[in-house]
Structure 1
């Protein structure tokens, strides 16, 4: 009996040991698996945010809508992007085994980088009091597609549907000039996307709520976009929000002054 109990205790101890996370083995990567994944991230390009310059004459409402949503800071690049820092961030933000230990947590050169919704809203000077996010609600319960078309599309413009009749996207050519400007801004600064010939349903709904000046938790949307980007299985997907990430790393104490810098304007 004693021998059997001893074996059981040894087996349980072995299992506990197996579940222990790997210890970070360098100042740059959480684990050896993350270091290996870095080679994949190195080949992914950055999709830069765009600093909003002069508002074109056909879209004078854009600035008013941007400020009405308290997204003014989102329209300015906080700092040029440090490419090396951004790629290390995305490498360590990927969930591999037991790392990172929390959601919305990255790691760069010995510093924990939090990119949770509150951290992003705080950086953007947005006060989110916990009210219902209308965008999240419509993603769960559905939207009035006819009204979305009225707000976003030129006369005759409409959603494209698949064979089953489900809404898929809106062609860029069907968007109003104002909606096109919002699309370019959103694809660079909110929901990064390099595909510009059409806009997907979720991205179209975000534009709709922005133009209607309804409650949108932009910090939550950006945090989820960063997390999805870090964990995507598409090794060719571009890395979004590099300027924002560089600034969050700088706030956390990372030296972001070294390496190549990138910035872009409309």
Structure 2
């Protein structure tokens, strides 16, 4: 479930500047109670069935056509896309200098995690700087997948991002997932789009947005002691690879079970990878529990999960 996000000028004024500079203000404030029945009806009716030709970005709810194409989403959010090249899409297609991404998103010493073939996989949340953490305030996310990292990089770098296209692609991916039990993304946005199309969205059941992300969240989960901890200087991937190569030479005499543990620790990252500098498909968000007490508990568990990932 989406969450409203505060501008926190006393802690990270650049967040508000970046958001408003892109005319993304509505993106941080639009979440309202979600009509569960409407969202559950939307997704099956937006799914492509077999080889039957289906119009892109179109679903149906109670006899109404629901368009979730990039223009419809941008219009709802009040953003304007003039048709120029989306630099986020370009990064996804052609790759990017990952050292620069690390310098923008990470604390000194923080870096992308890579698999055994050297492909970039993700960034640990503990490696993100406070501003990046606030941009990526998702529950139970201890690792930031590559596509999320590139989207965040483009946002902070003030590169062009067609946010309507990004969200439309995500919804289309959710609609065509095989796993019927997977969470349904962007529920509040879909409720808004259905209402605009004439669907009656006032009948319960509803799910209200989770507690807003604000200064209290920033103090507890993005800054404070964690951000102030001393860290080692950032090294390039080539330098880290040389260190890892030396470490592998030093451990070649390890016991078999130790080698197995080390191997599993290298491959046990999420499966989204960059092949030849290219990223995977759009990511999924989650519909989550919404009581304030549950929100606090989830945020605390998120940080505990993050701490565990360091061990």
Distance 2:46 2:12 in 1: 37
Please give the alpha-carbon distance, in whole angstroms, between the structure 1 residues aligned to 2:95 and 2:51: 35
Give the Cα–Cα distance (whole angstroms) in 2 for the partners of residues 215 and 174 of structure 1.
Answer: 25
User: Helix, strand or coil: the match of 1:207?
Assistant: helix
CA positional deviation for 1:53: 3.0
Superposition map of 1:168-207 within 5 A: 168-184=121-137, 187=138, 195-207=140-152
Preserved contact between residue 58 and residue 177 of structure 1 (Cα < 8 Å): no
**CA deviation after TM superposition for structure 1 residue 59, in Å:** 2.1
Please, what TM-score do these two structures have when normalized by structure 2? Answer: 0.65
Match in the other structure for 1:251: 196
Q: What's the offset of the Cα at 1:57?
A: 4.2
Q: What's the TM-score, normalizing by structure 1?
A: 0.76
Matched, 1:51 2:13: no
Aligned residues: 211
- Can you list the C-alpha shifts for 1:13-59, whole angstroms capped at 9, x where unaligned? xxxxxxxxxxxxxxxxxxxxxxxxxxxxxxxxxxx110113527432
Of 86, 89, 98, 1:136 maps to: 89
Query: Can you list the C-alpha shifts for 1:184-241, whole angstroms capped at 9, x where unaligned?
Result: 1xx5xxxxxx550110011000000000111000000000000001111233421111
Could you say which residue in structure 2 is the equivalent of 1:111?
A: 64
The two structures, once aligned, show a CA RMSD in angstroms of 1.6
Between the aligned partners of 1:81 and 1:208, the Cα distance in structure 2 is 30
How far 1:91 moved relative to its partner?
A: 1.4
Cα distance, 1:100 vs. partner?
7.5
The aligned residue for residue 160 of structure 1 is 113
Cα distance in 1 for partners of 2:77, 2:165 equals 12
**Contact 1:105–1:114 (CA under 8 A) maintained in structure 2:** yes
- Deviation of 1:123 after TM superposition, in Å, equals 0.7
How far apart are residue 260 of structure 1 and its match? 1.9
Q: Secondary structure at the match of 1:160?
A: strand
Quote the Cα distance in structure 1 between the aligned partners of 2:75 and 2:117.
42
Deviations 1:58-106 (A, max 9, x none): 3221111111121110001353110100110011111114668311001
Gaps of 5+ in 2: 214-311
Q: 1:63 aligns with which of 16, 35, 48?
A: 16
Which protein is bigger by CA-based radius of gyration? 1
Cα contact 1:51–1:77 (8 A) shared by 2: yes
